[in-house]
Amino acid sequence: MCFAHVLLNALDYRAKGYEVKIVLEGEATKLIKHFEQPDVPFAGLYKKCLDRGLLDCVCRACSNQMGVLKLVEEKGLPLCDDMSGHPSMERYTKEGFRIITF
């Protein structure tokens, strides 16, 4: 699963002192439901990222399309919709972040 690399790299960068923000878009939003099950692969990594505050934004439009919007809201995860229902990457580049896409 490619998303495992997002989690691993986010934790690695944070451990090395970088500021890290994960933005979930597209089909990756479905993984929120998947990671609710503690025995699935990489659920522990996902929880570590949540505990460290690395999940900055979940796409509202994609969450709705993938059928997980209600779960995202129930979990209190940060939803973004500032670009026609999707998160705008411009605010991250404006803050000086480099965008890495997996």
Return the HEC string of the chain.
CCHHHHHHHHHHHHHCCCCCCEEECHHHHHHHHHCCCCCCCCHHHHHHHHHCCCEEEEEHHHHHHCCCHHHHHHHCCCEECCECCECCCHHHHHCCCCCCCC
Whether 33 is in a domain gets the answer: yes
Whether 73 is in a domain gets the answer: yes
Alpha-carbon distance of 37 to 78, in angstroms, equals 20
* CB-CB contact of 11 with 48 (8 Å): yes
Whether 75 is in a domain gets the answer: yes
pLDDT in tens, the chain (102 residues): 589 999 999 999 999 999 999 999 999 999 999 998 989 989 999 999 999 999 999 999 999 999 999 999 999 999 999 999 999 999 999 999 999 998
Domain count, the chain: 1
Whether 99 is in a domain gets the answer: no
Domain containing 57: what range?
A: 3-9+22-94
Whether 16 is in a domain gets the answer: no
Tokens of 32: 């929120």
Whether 100 is in a domain gets the answer: no
Whether 74 is in a domain gets the answer: yes
Whether 45 is in a domain gets the answer: yes
